[in-house]
Amino acid sequence: MDLCKDAIDAISLLRDKRRVDDAAFAAILDSIREASTDRHAYEKQLKRGEQKLIALSLITLLVEACKTNRGLKNEVNAIKSVLDDCEADEQYSKLVLNLYETELRDKLYTRLQNMKIEGGCEQQTKNVVDVTWTQDLVIKSKLREHISEVNYLIDLHTEDGDKIGFMCTLQGLQDLTSKLKECRKSIERTYDIKT
């Protein structure tokens, strides 16, 4: 199962109980449990960025395992393999596997099937009505290779009140801007719109 480097690094934090103690891990598991019905649960329940990153990475791992649809035993083995590769604490690994087997597998599978029937992850295209951004300076981080790098936190607000958030560097923001300009020009040419 392929996960991005950031997800692997975040799951690897579970090897050190000084960084993620039992209480913090219990909160992470609760947010994962809630995320099966509310996709923003981890944002609401967890306060520390590191815990949010771990929760989101574990959610990604569990969803990716469920998407394979190779049977519960094979999915659990795939999850266990990733947790072992990340050297996650054995007790934490058992709790994640138990949560997947007993509570989440069926919910995730049903949700994935409903998404497939509805034609994808979203039922309809969402119209962006506003954009907000903040500049974030990362002075020092164990998860990033660069020190003192500037990141931009972008939030796209939609008509129905949803917020789609992502983070990028200045180069990524410039690439996004140029692609949006190209898209606008293409639409203008297609529909012969005068600006």
6-41, pLDDT tens digit by residue? 888 888 989 988 888 888 888 888 888 887 777 666
Are 93 and 173 within one domain? no
Smallest CA-to-CA distance from 93 within 194, 182, 17 is with: 17
What is the extent of the structural domain holding 45? 5-117
Is the whole-model pTM more than 0.85? no
How many C-alpha atoms does 48 have within 13 Å on its Cβ side? Answer: 13
Q: Per-residue confidence at 80, pLDDT binned at 50, 70, 90?
A: very high
Q: Per-residue confidence at 94, pLDDT binned at 50, 70, 90?
A: very high
Are 104 and 144 within one domain? no
- Last residue of a domain, which of 117, 149, 171? 117
Are 16 and 89 within one domain? yes
Beta bridge partners of 129: none
Q: Per-residue confidence at 136, pLDDT binned at 50, 70, 90?
A: confident
Are 39 and 109 within one domain? yes
